[in-house]
Amino acid sequence: MSKLSIRDLDLKNKTVFMRVDFNVPLAPGGKEITSDKRIRASLPSIQYALDHGAALILASHLGRPKGKPNPEMSLKPVAVKLAELLGKPVAMAPDCVGPQVEAMKPKPGEVLLLENLRYHAEEEKNDPAFAKQLASLCDVYVNDAFGSAHRAHASTVGMIQFVKQAAAGLLMDTELEYLTKATKNPARPCVAILGGAKVSDKIEVIENLMKFVDRLLIGGAMAYTFYRAQGQPVGKSLVEEDKIELAKDLLARAGGKVLLPVDHVVASELKAGAEAETVETIPEGKMALDIGPKTVVLYSAEVAKAKTVIWNGPMGVFEMPPFDVGTVALAKAVASSGAVSVVGGGDSEKAIKSAGVASKISHISTGGGASLEFLSGIELPGVAALTEK
């Protein structure tokens, strides 16, 4: 993907508008950040801009304030945390547009954080007048918010037509590099692991992955819609009845690429400490809540042969032991495979971290929804809008 990178820009004495993803989780009341992971993810781009003589304006949304100010979704705690991480002051703007903001324009080496973009309904509506106001603050634009790249908003798409150059930040660069490597020209064999609850959430992903992967390993509750499509017993397992015909069609078109679980960890109900057993045929009155040990061996063998592994979604109800065993075992198999491994955000990332193998994964995406759309073959608006090299 030949988009302009921050590395291609002359930043000296330029005012840079950097769209970041500071949509951090806050404790009730909105005063305390419970995880600064997203702030840390953009530190390399922020530091790069400052080291190269830029005056830096940072912009992000936080939560869903529905187009009006909400003190519980203010970015003020982020300014405090960012100043601590950078070891230098971060000025906090009272808004993201308007005379007060314009009067606070930073000098080279200084950082200004704008208030929540979504305090204005025009942000999500991609309003041209609002986009132009944002663009008027800067000389060049950098998007480092991969997690928002699938949204066509004023700060991710609209304002780009009003700036001379629009480039990807270092985090965005890395995301695009790994996701492109895994999907466009993967080292083979290429294996995808797909889990989660619903086939409907992953239809486009399955259809796109089937075009280029050598094996597609399916786990999680979505496996049981495929089971039903094959006429196999599923007990009380979660099944999307309205997706059974689609599952039949996907299996027919997959030509043997799709592997489904060969055994299952089942229980009568989903609750912590529920009495679980491993079965090859799911009995009436039981629900499958994890892949079984034979499936772990089967899937791990496929992963061991792989040169590229793409993973999105857990193999079971991994947040509730004992139904985390399959997901953790597979995470360890991916980590020890030596393959280029790309893991989609959200639950997959939690699973990798709970298995203690995050450091051995090539790339863990910071954008759940964005990585899912990328894997679906959908062009991300926030990437498409950037300047071509």
| Contact partners, residue 261, CB within 8 Å, separation at least 6 | 218, 219, 223, 288, 291, 292, 295
Instruction: Name the active-site residue from 198, 257, 294, 353.
Output: 198
State the DSSP H helix or E strand holding residue 179, giving kind and residue range, or none if neither: helix 170-184
Instruction: Name the active-site residue from 313, 346, 367, 382.
Output: 346
Whether 68 is catalytic is no
Give CA–CA dist 225/238, Å, rounded: 8
- Compute how many other C-beta atoms are within 10 angstroms of the C-beta atom of residue 384: 13
Give CA–CA dist 224/287, Å, rounded: 10
Cis peptide before 77 (omega within 30 of 0): no
DSSP 8-state code for residue 106: P
Whether 105 is catalytic is no
Q: How, if at all, do strands 140-143 and 166-168 pair?
A: parallel
- Compute how many other C-beta atoms are within 10 angstroms of the C-beta atom of residue 263: 20
Instruction: Name the active-site residue from 38, 228, 243, 332.
Output: 38
Tell me the two tokens of residue 133: 């106001």
Strands across the sheet containing 55-59: 91-92, 111-113, 55-59, 15-19, 140-143, 166-168
234 and 227 Cβ atoms separated by less than 8 Å? yes
Instruction: Name the active-site residue from 30, 63, 368, 369.
Output: 369
314 and 281 Cβ atoms separated by less than 8 Å? no
Tell me the two tokens of residue 376: 């679906």
Whether 38 is catalytic is yes
Radius of gyration of the chain (CA): 23
Query: Which of 339, 372, 373, 378 lies closest to 195 in space, CA to CA?
Result: 372
199 and 218 Cβ atoms separated by less than 8 Å? no
Query: For the purposes of burial, counting CB atoms within 10 Å of the CB of 304, is it exposed (0-12), middle (13-18) or buried (19 or more)?
Result: middle
Catalytic positions are 38, 198, 346, 369
